[in-house]
Amino acid sequence: MTDQTRAFYECTRLAEMAAQADEVPIGVVMVKDGKIISGAHNETEKQSNFLAHAEMIAIKRATKFLNTKYLNDCELYSTLEPCPMCMAAARLSRIKSIFYLISSDKFGADGKALYSTHLQKIENHSESDKILNLLRSFFEKKR
């Protein structure tokens, strides 16, 4: 069995656990150097929190396991294409590769999911020089 096959097998097992717990059946594992370092399934119902996606939980567990906020040498495996929130989290944590079994036309990070029928308005109030200067100053000190 290849490392990738093993990772997807574990994702599927976690998705089945999610279904048994009456959660959306999505399973995710984080892999580093061919070894699974964390795994999770959705817990949005259990936690009463829409942020408790399998990807978010697995990323958090991997950062804790490795004692770092960056996952440069890690790969994320999922049973379903990550949503925009989870894709952004993966990008911010510098995950090097993402692999998934099936696409999600409704919620996948391909951009379609960004347009919600529940969202009434998005406005950009770009007059705030104070915030812009605060952000610039902060990042200049970091570099």
Residue positions annotated with a catalytic role = 55
The Cβ-side half-sphere exposure at 133, using a 13 Å CA radius, reads 4
For the sheet containing 27-32, what is the strand order? 35-41, 27-32, 74-80, 97-102
Q: Cα(86)–Cα(17) distance, rounded to whole angstroms?
A: 20
Q: Cα(23)–Cα(82) distance, rounded to whole angstroms?
A: 16
Q: Cα(73)–Cα(120) distance, rounded to whole angstroms?
A: 39
Q: Cα(122)–Cα(59) distance, rounded to whole angstroms?
A: 29
